């Protein structure tokens, strides 16, 4: 049986699903907070909590703009290292291989005091039992997500 040649630029190989899920190449990622730049360089992938759910960005992702929510931001480097932040709001923009992430608030994994993060999370959970208003309840839910993200990256 003759081998079928794939047109230039198309997928080729045995496992098409693997190639679609993990395309070759790298992203150029910039992560910035109002306080300081957090990261600039190559990445293999990015995962982040968007306003309406978790999202992952790999090379060849469609161009897009998304509002960010509260949770984890992870940047996977080509060498396998992963940088992690707890974030609260912002925006993400994907244009070709460039990913720009502007976060309203961020804490890097190395900056988190695990015991303090657990105490803050416990206090937030206690406050959630008796919110004084709907607005306070919504804010406490975000505060809980931020606390959970800090606890997760601290350990």
Question: What are the tens digits of pLDDT across the range 15-44?
Answer: 666 665 566 789 999 999 999 999 999 999
Q: Which residues of 23-49 are buried (b: 16+ CB within 10 A; e: fewer)?
A: eeeebebebbbeeeebbeeebbbbbbb
* Contacting residues for 64 by C-beta, under 8 A, at least 6 apart: 92, 93, 94
Model confidence at 155, in pLDDT bands (50, 70, 90)? Answer: confident
Of 33, 141, 48, the closest CA to residue 94 belongs to 48
Judge if pTM exceeds 0.85: no
- Secondary structure of residue 152 in the 3-state scheme: helix
Question: What are the tens digits of pLDDT across the range 110-120?
Answer: 999 999 999 99
Question: Does residue 2 carry a pLDDT above 80?
Answer: no
């Amino acid at each position: 049986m003759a081998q079928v040649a794939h047109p230039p630029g198309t997928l080729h190989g045995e496992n098409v699903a693997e190639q679609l899920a993990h395309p070759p190449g790298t992203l150029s990622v910039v992560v910035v907070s109002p306080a300081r730049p957090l990261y600039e360089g190559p990445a293999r992938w990015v995962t982040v909590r968007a306003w309406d759910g978790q999202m992952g960005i790999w090379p060849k992702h469609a161009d897009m703009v998304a509002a960010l929510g509260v949770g984890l931001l992870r940047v996977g480097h080509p060498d396998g290292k992963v940088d992690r932040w707890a974030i609260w709001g912002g925006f993400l923009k994907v244009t070709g291989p460039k990913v720009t992430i502007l976060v309203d608030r961020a804490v890097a994994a190395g900056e988190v005091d695990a015991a303090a993060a657990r105490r803050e999370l416990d206090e937030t959970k206690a406050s959630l039992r008796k919110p004084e208003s709907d607005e306070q309840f919504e804010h406490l839910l975000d505060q809980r997500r931020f606390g959970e993200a800090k606890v997760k990256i601290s350990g």
